[in-house]
Homo-oligomer: A and B are copies of this chain.
Amino acid sequence: MQIEKYKIDEANNQQAAAHQRKFDFVAEGVANLDEVMGKLAEFNIAIPSWALGTGGTRFGRFSGGGEPRSLEEKIEDIGVLHALNRSSGAISLHIPWDIPKDAKAIKALAAQHGLRFDAMNSNTFQDQANQPLSYKFGSLQHVDKNVRKQAVEHNIEVIKQGIELGSNALTVWLADGSSFPGQLNFRKAFENTYESLQEIYAAMPDDWKMYLEYKCYEPNFYSTTVADWGQSLLYVNKLGPKAYTLVDLGHHLPNANIEQIVSLLLMEGKLAGFHFNDSKYGDDDLTVGSINPYQLFLIFNELVEGMDARGMNHANDLGWMIDASHNVKDPIEDLLQSVEAIKIAYAQALLVDKKKLVQAQLNNDAALAQEVLQQAYRTDVRPLVAESRLRAGGALDPIGAFRDMQVRSNLIKERGEKTVATGL
């Protein structure tokens, strides 16, 4: 299944006049229009390979139809996404769910769809069939040196796979922790984990980055060994210049001020990038922007300000990835909504009148500072994002196009109603 360009053009043509009117209206009010359009054009968000199938919870999983049955089909699905929104030009693989049998062929297939390979993800939170030792009680933290060794070797294997695919980053998310007081010694768990990470770090090529993710709880329910940004930062500062802290928006305790964490990690030069999603209660892994879009905007506001302050390239100096679980929506539609929400937040942040904001801050004028932020946030920037897509050859209305072209029913015809993609 591949989306033919002329179909997108046809759809766009029908909406062209209405779009142009909206774009002209909003563009007139944007002083830095060229900058905004330029930055939107460059911006891509990686799609994780496991996100193309329907997710589930511990209570069950209700699969949809036409889910990709192989890595090739996953690439195809991301190709569909990217054809529609021109902002999903990267894949983030998860090993061992998606081990490429022939790296060259896979790389070529991805290239056909305009896709590159973003950060590789290792997995030591599940036992694989034929795995000699179990991760039931942790991996890099394990009290048994042999289990740690197995987990380290798995990570090194993932790096090797990534090198062949042209990736240059390894994302390490650890479920390691404990579910009961007394179950582990926090200090020793930290020390074991640190030692294991050092070995993985040593195996990374010089131009690679390690993204160390943190998470406050789940699947362990008493402690997690990389539980918050402070802990992750402790590790990556000890590890060295190639190690960075990855922020997953759903991995915080209730009410955490994530945007402040982002600002400080940027200040320290240790922000790796993001796993985007949204949540109301815990790590709910909902569609980005579906619960609290203003928070997303505030995060991007810190990103734009902080990256500019450090002279960073918005498009390439951080890792941008979605990490959501599409339990009740079509996974491709969910991803289209997520990418759209991210680009909207980014566009809004680019619209913030920085000069006026700085002035308000210097005057402790909280009311004016809020006016400045909300002036940007309340602006309907969707036409800017759509125009950016249009110029890049994508669809003005990606979900509309996806539905009109009946992509899902075509996928079901090809792949069957009862396919189940690997993943959670």
Q: Are A59 and B230 in contact (CB under 8 A)?
A: no
Contacts A60-B125, A286-B180; A263 near B187 (Cβ below 8 A): yes
Contacts A180-B328, A228-B230, A292-B292; A59 near B216 (Cβ below 8 A): no
Give Cα A298–Cα B294 distance, bound, in whole angstroms.
Answer: 13
Of the residues B59, B127, B256, B301, contact of A60 by C-beta under 8 Å = B127
Chain B nearest CB from A313 CB (Å) reads 19
Most buried by B among A135, A185, A216, A379: A185
Residue ID in chain B nearest A229 by CB atoms? B230
Interface residues of A in 149-177 (CB under 8 A from B): 175
Give Cα A224–Cα B191 distance, bound, in whole angstroms.
Answer: 30
| A179 contacts chain B at the CB level, 8 A cutoff | yes
Contacts A183-B369, A187-B266, A233-B230; A222 near B257 (Cβ below 8 A): yes
Q: Are A362 and B399 in contact (CB under 8 A)?
A: no
Chain B nearest CB from A336 CB (Å) reads 9
Chain B residues in 8 Å Cβ range of A357: 182
Q: Copy number of this protein in the oligomer?
A: 4
| A2 contacts chain B at the CB level, 8 A cutoff | no
Of the residues B125, B143, B187, B188, contact of A59 by C-beta under 8 Å = B125
Of the residues B58, B126, B280, contact of A257 by C-beta under 8 Å = B280
Contacts A57-B219, A217-B281, A380-B380; A366 near B264 (Cβ below 8 A): no
Interface residues of A in 267-306 (CB under 8 A from B): 267-268, 279-282, 284-287, 289-295, 298, 301-302, 305-306
Give Cα A254–Cα B361 distance, bound, in whole angstroms.
Answer: 29
Give Cα A378–Cα B373 distance, bound, in whole angstroms.
Answer: 15
| A334 contacts chain B at the CB level, 8 A cutoff | yes
Give Cα A403–Cα B161 distance, bound, in whole angstroms.
Answer: 45
Q: Are A330 and B424 in contact (CB under 8 A)?
A: no
Chain B residues in 8 Å Cβ range of A327: 179, 219
| A43 contacts chain B at the CB level, 8 A cutoff | no
Give Cα A301–Cα B268 distance, bound, in whole angstroms.
Answer: 33
Contacts A264-B190, A328-B136; A181 near B291 (Cβ below 8 A): yes
Give Cα A179–Cα B56 distance, bound, in whole angstroms.
Answer: 12
The 4 nearest A-B residue pairs measured at CB: A230-B230, A182-B369, A221-B284, A62-B136
Q: Name 9 extra pairs, CB < 8 A, besides A25-B25, A185-B358.
A: A58-B424, A186-B267, A217-B255, A221-B286, A222-B286, A223-B260, A231-B264, A289-B374, A330-B367
Binding site for B on A (CB under 8 A): 25, 55-60, 62, 125-127, 134-137, 143, 175, 178-188, 190-191, 216-219, 221-223, 227-231, 233-234, 252-257, 259-260, 263-264, 266-268, 279-282, 284-287, 289-295, 298, 301-302, 305-306, 309, 325, 327-330, 333-334, 337, 344, 357-358, 360-362, 364, 366-367, 369-374, 377-380, 382, 399, 424
